[in-house]
Amino acid sequence: MSKILLIDDEPDILRLLAMSLRADGHDVLTARDGETGLAAFAAQGPEIVLIDIKMPGMDGIEVLRQIKDRETDAEVIIITGHGDVDNAIEALKLGASDFLNKPVRDATLTLALNRAQSKIDIRRQLRDYTSNLEHKIAAATQALQRQAHFQAKLINSSDNGIVATDRNQRIVIYNPGAERIFGHAAAQVLERMHLADLFPAELAREFAQGLRRDSKRREMPWRETVVVSAAGEAIPVRFSGSILREKGRKMGSVAFFADLREIKALEAELVHKERLAAIGQTIAGVAHGIKNILHGLNGGSHLVDVGIQRQDSERLTRGWDMVKRNIARTADLVMDLLSYAKERSPDFEDCAPNEIVREVFELVREKAVAADVALALDLDPAIGRAALDQRSLHSVLLNLLSNAVDACRDDPDADKRRQVILRSAREAADWLRFEVTDNGHGMTEEIRRKHFHSFFSTKGPQGTGLGLMVARKAVEEHGGRIEVNSAPGRGTTFTVHLPCRAAGA
Amino acid sequence: MTQKVLVIDDDPDVRYFSVSSLEEAGYIVLEAGDGAEGREMARAEIPDLILLDVMMPRESGIRLYRDLKTDVALRHIPIVILSGIGEKSFLKSQQALVAEGQAALPAPAAYLEKPVPAETLISVIQRILGREGQASRS
């Protein structure tokens, strides 16, 4: 359905055409002359105009010209008399879309109207498409701009340093994060520097290789490294990089740097705090040891006082023994603390390790006899001579063997035949093994977890709580390791693996 | 009737010191060298007061304290802790056990941190047992 304006001076034809068009469902306006027609066109804006060429006053050609002046897209159909070819041609030149000969027949009229209508439709569609397209393009452009803006913002506000280059390694992106790390101002770097001017040599080389046409390398995964700032400061960073490609062609590179200075500072602080906590723990342990010793000295001197007052020699003796024992405990505690606190590098000396083992064995024998513990020795003659730190070996074995005797002595199982075996063996050309096995009370899981900790002792006043810790420290300083195997009620084996050097080397 | 005090301490010197001081003050003194022995003796003898060390091998004073204070027959017995461990650490370890879902316990009748002179030990115990001193042996 269209809005159609009919301009014809003959009222009968006008009425007839109007009736016919309305019957087809069109919206019809009519005018009896050119001026009225133009006014209706201006006021109503019909889509299609039918004009009779021959009219008194303003003729159809003039009306056509004026309509086309106003609205080039207006569909104007001219109605001509039979054979009036000149006027028809003139009208088509002026932009009429069609012409109809009089008398106007319904079929030809419908055909012409349909043609006009489809031209209008096509034009409207085209216009719609165009405006749609323009919208779409505008929207896409905006999105692109936003995205680019967003990316630029992202790059600028990233805490990480971001450095990107074109395929010739020239730096084209250098964000404030990179400024903070490298210290060069962006103006000095952008488009001016190449990667080799900014990055450490090794890193620059990697990118240069990655950008070579034949290189397959694309990603450089995160790793820690060090870059040097403009001021010459070595800055710890986490780094990752990639080679950028577009349609299979290398177009440049990008590198990301996370500044680790703050993290490293925090780590250092944490280590410091842990050390303080360890010192605090150590002091608490020492204080506990000293309080016990003081109590013993206190008690001992009280007994001595009472003994003197009452001429009670039993109390006197007991009190004096107590004082002496607590002096010895003080000495033990101080010695253990000192050897624990002292960093000592092993002193490799030619020796016969089995001799040291035998010496320790002799030292502990008396204590073992007193505790009713059978002490056995099982030496590997293949050990011969070797170079190792004699003092470490001596103190470690003495500690372990003495512990083993204590474990048997304190074992509540009275029916057991208590025994401790001390073994030596050569494991390899440059490794020795020493084992101390007892069948004493063994360790529960809880004790096994704590036995290398400071001031942990199951021996009450007999232990400083430092022995095993000191032993482990000595073994580790010697480059060896110490292992423990234990079952509650069945016994414990401590194994020391110690590296040695060939004698005389 | 003379009152009975049970001394539980693994250190023979400390034990001897406590025992002789208490005997001098006129108490009957029983001794135990570790937690298990101490518990047996407490059940058998029902002492009037227990003097307990915290750090002991085999069974710690922390656990023994808990056992004694949750035993219907024994929980009325006042316990005096004598230890090189600070009172705070002792209370903290008890709180840790309470946090694990174990019963909350009353605080010890007294907490003595080593070193403790004989006079202090005796006066604290006398205060708890409500006596101005037993007849001295001397």
More confident of the two residues A215 and B55: A215
Using the Cα atoms of residue A467, residue A468, residue A473 and residue A479 in order, give the sign of their dihedral: positive
Beta pairing partners, A254: A164, A242
- Answer whether residue A133 shows pLDDT above 70: yes
Cβ separation B20–A460 shorter than 8 A: no
Q: How far is A379 from chain B (nearest CA, A)?
A: 33
> Whole-angstrom Cα distance, residue A300 to residue A318?
7
CB atoms within 10 A of CB A193: 19
Residue A239 has phi, psi (to 5 degrees) of -125, 145
CB nearest A291 (choices: B11, B57, B115): B115
Q: How far is B45 from chain A (nearest CA, A)?
A: 23
> Whole-angstrom Cα distance, residue A216 to residue A91?
71
Residue of chain B nearest A444, judged by CA positions: B58
Give the confidence band of B138 by pLDDT, cuts at 50, 70, 90. very low
Amino acid of residue A267 = E
Average pLDDT over residues B40-54: 93
Q: How far is CA A71 from CA A63, A97, B117, in A?
A: 12, 13, 120
Q: Look up the pTM and report it.
A: 0.45
Average pLDDT over residues A77-94: 81
> Whole-angstrom Cα distance, residue A33 to residue A262?
91
Q: Is B92 on the interface with A (CB under 8 A)?
A: no
Give the confidence band of B79 by pLDDT, cuts at 50, 70, 90. very high
Side by side, the strands of the sheet bearing A349-351 are A349-351, A386-388, A501-502
Sequence-distant (6+) residues with CB within 8 A of A65 are: A94
Whole-number pLDDT of residue A434 = 94
Tell me the three state secondary structure of residue A348: coil
> Whole-angstrom Cα distance, residue B22 to residue B17?
9
Q: Is A313 on the interface with B (CB under 8 A)?
A: no
Tell me the three state secondary structure of residue A427: strand
Whole-number pLDDT of residue B133 = 42
Region at A83 (left for phi over 0; alpha for psi -120 to 50; beta for the rest):
left
The dihedral over CA atoms of A227, A230, A233, A237, expressed in degrees to the nearest 10, equals: -30
For residue B8, what is the DSSP state? E
Q: Is B56 on the interface with A (CB under 8 A)?
A: yes
- ipTM for the whole complex: 0.75
Whole-number pLDDT of residue B125 = 94
Nearest to B82 by CA among B5, B136, B28, B135: B5
Sequence-distant (6+) residues with CB within 8 A of A54 are: A9, A60, A81
Q: How far is A494 from chain B (nearest CA, A)?
A: 20
Q: Is B88 on the interface with A (CB under 8 A)?
A: no
Tell me the three state secondary structure of residue A437: strand
Whole-number pLDDT of residue A453 = 60
> Whole-angstrom Cα distance, residue A468 to residue A287?
19
> Whole-angstrom Cα distance, residue B2 to residue A60?
146
Q: How far is B73 from chain A (nearest CA, A)?
A: 27
Q: Encode pLDDT of A250-293 as tens digits.
A: 888 999 998 888 888 877 777 777 767 767 777 777 777 788 88
Q: A34-38, A311-315, A474-478: which range is least confident on average?
A: A474-478
Whole-number pLDDT of residue A6 = 92
Nearest to A203 by CA among A182, A186, A177: A182
Q: Encode pLDDT of A348-373 as tens digits.
A: 889 999 999 998 898 888 888 888 89
The token pair at A328 is: 């010895």
Beta pairing partners, B27: none
- Answer whether residue B135 shows pLDDT above 50: no
> Whole-angstrom Cα distance, residue A74 to residue A42?
11
Task: Using the CB atoms, write b or e for A105-122: b if 16+ within 10 Å.
Answer: eeeebeebbeebbeebee
The DSSP annotation for A265-281 comes to HHHHHHHHHHHHHHHHH
Average pLDDT taken over every residue of chain A: 85
Average pLDDT over residues A330-346: 78
Sequence-distant (6+) residues with CB within 8 A of A377 are: A357, A358, A361, A421, A422
